Structure 1
Amino acid sequence: MDSRAPAARATGRLSTLDRFLPVWIGLAMAAGLLLGRMVPGLQGVLEAVEIDGVSLPIALGLLLMMYPVLAKVRYDRLDTVTRDHRLLIPSLVLNWLVGPAVMFALAWLFLPDLPEYRTGLIIVGLARCIAMVIIWNDLACGDREAAAVLVALNSVFQVFMFGVLGWFYLEVLPGWLGLPQSGIDVSAWDIAKSVLIFLGIPLVAGYLTRTLGERARGRAWYEERFLPRIGPVALYGLLFTIVLLFALQGDAITSQPLDVARIANPLLLYFALMWGLSMLLGWLVRLRYERATTLAFTAAGNNFELAIAVAIGVFGAASGQALAGVVGPLIEVPVLVGLVYVSLWVRRFFPGGTERPTPVKAADTA
């Protein structure tokens, strides 16, 4: 079976925005650096109006990133996955036990002398993927319904547990292991408050939008007409936020470019380890290919939108923690696109892997 054909067909159905996402992120970074040079007093302007310590323009960009993603989730289908213990239990273990622990270990291994970037990566490891995973899953011919349900579960779980896990990995665990303290004052409430604002608000808005939209016009209209219209808003919010962050981070980035490159190394290794471990676990528990690949991408991807929001809310827009979150999607996109092709190659080893994949509809990936 030629694994390139399904990916090529699916990639061709992606919008121009999605297909060239790394390019847009790179251009947004460059635009931010230029803006910071051209407007020296930009930080003072952004700090003039704040919401709980976060600049209003940046806060709006963060909320716009999250809302369209959460409006896509089918909240009424939670039971379709919760009954499949072979998928649900490995997903919970990988997302909430293995993933954060792996990122914690890699952050300390690669960035022992850069505490701000290290903390930013640990926050990234806690932010489980709820955004681009639907696209990676579609390209790899995974189970879209299962992916949507796992996204919903991760969204709800993050609201309640992100702050607790952040406090554990940033404060408690380093002390237990005898690691040098970074001197960063962070509390579970600080992190939880940012999660409640930047995930809780769009989560409620997304749920109400789907519920009321489907009730008024039906699911077909909602998914085929409404979602494609609001889908690009998430990317616009991400690019807008990146421009502002890089405008504020310009001096740090241009004076220490190697530090930025060092952030990429643990991210690259993290994606490869989490995807490979997840696919192996799916094979061991005899999941069909569609659900095994869904397990792999939901475990390997991270919610950089939330990580950026938490880093800004707790440490500030000009912090190294925020920069670590911003570098994340630039690395994630090309790596996970490459893993799509690897997934399609290994599908032959899974139950159901030799069957002809279901074509991805254009509306599904919009």
Structure 2
Amino acid sequence: MSTFERYLTLWVALCIVAGIVLGHAFPGVFHIIGAAEVAKVNLPMAVLIWLMIVPMLVKIDFSALHQVREHWRGIGVTLFINWAVKPFSMAALGWFFIGYLFKPYLPADQVDFYIAGLIILAAAPCTAMVFVWSNLTKGEPHFTLSQVALNDTIMVVAFAPIVGLLLGLSAIIVPWGTLVLSVGLYIVVPVIAAQLLRKRVLATGGEAALARLLARLQPLSLVALLATLVLLFGFQGEQILAQPLVIALLAVPILIQVYFNAGLAYILNRIAGEKHCVAGPSALIGASNFFELAVAAAISLFGFNSGAALATVVGVLVEVPVMLSVVKIVNASQGWYERGASETRSAPNETTARS
């Protein structure tokens, strides 16, 4: 990991502060940028998100899906958390905390939209930052690669129905055309473009050429991430400064959701007897969110100044520091984890030997 990546938390914090300050100082500039949209899709944001996502997707070899068999326990746990637990647990947390417990302290006309933003945030598993988290936990790279490839494949068909279902339950009118457009623009098209680029580079220059390309693209992806943060917090700067209590209240269900899902995935992997190098990234993939897609979808569906967009931006605000804390917990508990996992793996063999 480069020095730049090691201090990513610092750069993220600086960009958040810069975005808030710039948005407060030059609101007119950000309003002009926000108005540059087609079919409710903001063009500058779309370009930045493409620059973030495509370099990450170029890393993914979708032929790696056959490696699912090698880590089937970890794959099964992560899929269960990502698609059967996380969107629905976030919806439940949103309804309880935002729709009930904190409702008297929130703007009444935005409550449903805050819940919608939380649901959108949780409905897409992380694809980009997962490689960073996995590296920090010394995770099994083939597991991480195959899990991300499988999640991206599922996300193409599952994201819109899950979001539509849960938003419908939240009494939000779902603009299906915009939702489907977001899936196509931020998932399908980047996946196709990245895989065509990967195939062409491998055909002309092999793995060495691909490694050189990724080395050039990686800084571009991180710069696009930081520029996106400046824009996002510039758009929401006035709201953030004016509503610090709202930001704090929205962060509560997000924090609970991250730690709950990470802990559940970690423990289920331990019970299943999976190796720590698989359980670590499994927990992190299970807990983290594809916030680039979430922010883009929320803005496309409800607009820059909506409560939904603000809720997803709060997700960005807490994502990096919270995930780094999960990394520390996973690494610090490796000894405890491996004692339990080794006992689970050896139990069937002992039973067989006695019989």
Pair in the same fold by TM > 0.5: yes
1:199 alignment counterpart: 187
1:23 alignment counterpart: 10
1:350 alignment counterpart: 338
1:215 maps to 2:203? yes
- Measure how far apart 1:79 and its partner are: 0.2
- Measure how far apart 1:205 and its partner are: 1.4
| Richer in helix (by share) | 2
1:79 alignment counterpart: 66
1: CA distance, partners of 2:341 / 2:207: 30
- Measure how far apart 1:196 and its partner are: 0.9
Displaced runs of 4 or more, over 6 A: 351-354
Instruction: Give the aligned CA root-mean-square deviation in angstroms.
Output: 2.1
2:9 touches 2:321 (CA, 8 Å); kept in 1? yes
Q: 1:91-112 CA distances to partner (integer Å, 9 max, x unpaired)?
A: 2211101111111112222211
- Measure how far apart 1:83 and its partner are: 5.6
Pairing partner for 1:54 from 41, 61, 72: 41
1:289 alignment counterpart: 276
2:137 touches 2:327 (CA, 8 Å); kept in 1? yes
- Measure how far apart 1:28 and its partner are: 2.0
2:272 touches 2:341 (CA, 8 Å); kept in 1? no
1:128 alignment counterpart: 125
1:336 maps to 2:323? yes
2:288 alignment counterpart: 301
2: CA distance, partners of 1:279 / 1:37: 41
1:142 alignment counterpart: 139
2: CA distance, partners of 1:82 / 1:318: 45
- 3-state SS, counterpart of residue 126 of structure 2: coil
- Letter aligned with residue 137 of structure 2: A
- Letter aligned with residue 151 of structure 1: V
Pairing partner for 1:158 from 155, 160, 163: 155
1:248 touches 1:317 (CA, 8 Å); kept in 2? yes
- Measure how far apart 1:165 and its partner are: 0.4
1:170 maps to 2:167? yes
Pairing partner for 1:32 from 10, 14, 19: 19
1:137 touches 1:143 (CA, 8 Å); kept in 2? yes
Q: 1:152-175 CA distances to partner (integer Å, 9 max, x unpaired)?
A: 11112111111100011110x44x
Unaligned runs of 5+ in 1: 1-13, 175-180, 355-366
2: CA distance, partners of 1:129 / 1:75: 16
2:264 alignment counterpart: 277
- Measure how far apart 1:323 and its partner are: 2.0
- Letter aligned with residue 217 of structure 1: G
Pairing partner for 1:262 from 225, 245, 249: 249
- Letter aligned with residue 252 of structure 2: N
1:54 touches 1:317 (CA, 8 Å); kept in 2? no
- Letter aligned with residue 241 of structure 2: T
Cα distance change on mapping 1:85 and 1:188 into 2, 3 Å: farther
Cα distance change on mapping 1:233 and 1:94 into 2, 3 Å: same
- 3-state SS, counterpart of residue 296 of structure 1: helix
2: CA distance, partners of 1:48 / 1:336: 33
- Measure how far apart 1:60 and its partner are: 1.1
2: CA distance, partners of 1:115 / 1:160: 25
TM superposition score normalised by structure 2: 0.87
2: CA distance, partners of 1:42 / 1:75: 41
TM superposition score normalised by structure 1: 0.84
Q: 1:17-40 CA distances to partner (integer Å, 9 max, x unpaired)?
A: 322223222222222233233334
Unaligned runs of 5+ in 2: 104-110, 343-355
User: Which segment drifts farther, 20-29 or 258-267?
Assistant: 20-29
Pairing partner for 2:214 from 227, 230, 253: 227
1: CA distance, partners of 2:269 / 2:24: 49
- Measure how far apart 1:351 and its partner are: 7.1
1: CA distance, partners of 2:13 / 2:334: 32
Cα distance change on mapping 1:122 and 1:216 into 2, 3 Å: same
- Letter aligned with residue 221 of structure 1: A
Cα distance change on mapping 1:188 and 1:131 into 2, 3 Å: same
